[in-house]
Structure 1
Amino acid sequence: MGMSVTISAATERDAEQILKLQYLCYQSEAEVRGDYSIEPLTQPLDSIRAELNAGQVLVARLGEEVVASVRGTVDEDGVAHIGKLIVHPRMRGHGLGGRLLGAIEERLRTAREAKRFQLFTGHHSDRNLRLYRKHGYAPVGSHQVDDRLTLVTLTKDVGLLTRTA
């Protein structure tokens, strides 16, 4: 390839690429659930644009292409909610998800004064669960959505942040 992946704040111009990447990345989750009406597959472009203004959205680029993204907000109690960490299937397995996770944690800690991080994933999402545990997250609860899906909530205190180079 010859190009390196860079991580930066998403801009309005990235909204459409984020939406397309999100649609691609959540196909496997929809297949596992047998439900293609899940929110990541039905989210409208205007909603992603609103998220760009409401919180922190980071993208990873390979040249001009958005190949990964993550979103985060911090509530009034200082809990940072991290969501929709997505990596293009051809870019998985190279540490990009971990780099993005570290970058959004740092951004939410410094810009939004987060005290704790929280995220969730499906109980069958072994790759996600391994990634989150590797980065210091611990399961704190679960919620059964339906017969096929239980969401696992994981948290991490700011003091457990791992610094990235």
Structure 2
Amino acid sequence: MSVTVSAAAETDAEQILKLQYLCYQSEAELYGDYSIEPLTQSLDALRAELGGGCVLVARLGDEVVGSVRGTVDGDGTAVISGLIVHPRMQRHGLGRRLLGAIEERLAGEWSAKRYRLAIGQRSERTLRLHRKWGYTQTGTERVTGKLTVITLEKEAGPAEAPALATSA
């Protein structure tokens, strides 16, 4: 069975929320803070995100095994968030496929000129991956005593990422 990437439907909200909860456990442990927003987000708040931006899911059959979200502001800056991949599916390029797909969709359908994302400073593997994918650090912000967030950006350009592939 192959993994497909497509737009999320409202009916995917519960699966995305459960996957988000699973995926952010390691982040909460890393920072010693289990009150982080991805672990406390309500189903209604997630449904509102589904209706207000671009949300993609990766499916293995009927199961949501990955997701990513994005919005574009009036200046053309796309804020990408919530990139998650089920732990058993990690290290197979699925995160890169999701990121490439959301970048492509935000540039094409939402006229994004640049992409921005924020990552906790202790999330070294995630920071390394995004830098490898062309993102550069543009700022830092201390959010709490335990958490400093690093902002990364890259310009939207000719499609660098693979097109929305339908199989893994």
Out of 43, 58, 61, which is 1:60 matched to? 58
TM-score of the superposed pair, with normalisation by structure 1: 0.95
Q: Which runs of 4+ in 1 moved over 6 A?
A: none
| Structure with more relative contact order (C-alpha pairs < 8 Å, separation 6 or more) | 2
Offset from partner CA, 1:62-109 (integer Å, 9 cap, x none): 111000000000001100000010011111100100000000000000
Alignment gaps of 5+ in structure 1: none
1:132 to 130, 133, 139: 130
**Equivalent-residue separation in structure 2 for 1:157 and 1:4 (angstroms):** 31
Who is 1:153 aligned against?
151
- Paired residue for 2:110? 112
Q: Cα 1:84–1:47, aligned 2, differ >3 Å: closer, same or farther? A: same
Count of matched residue pairs: 163
> Is 2:71 the partner of 1:73?
yes
Unaligned stretches of 5+ residues in structure 2: 164-168
Distance in structure 2 (CA, Å) of the matches to 1:127 and 1:8: 26
Q: Indicate the percent of aligned positions where both proteins have the same amino acid.
A: 66
TM-score between both structures, scaled by the size of structure 2? 0.94
Taking the aligned partners of 2:123 and 2:31, their CA distance within structure 1 comes to: 11
CA distance in 2, matches of 1:130, 1:91: 19
- Match of 1:70, SS state, is strand
Give the CA RMSD over aligned residues: 1.1
Q: CA deviation at 1:144?
A: 1.4
CA distance in 2, matches of 1:109, 1:160: 9
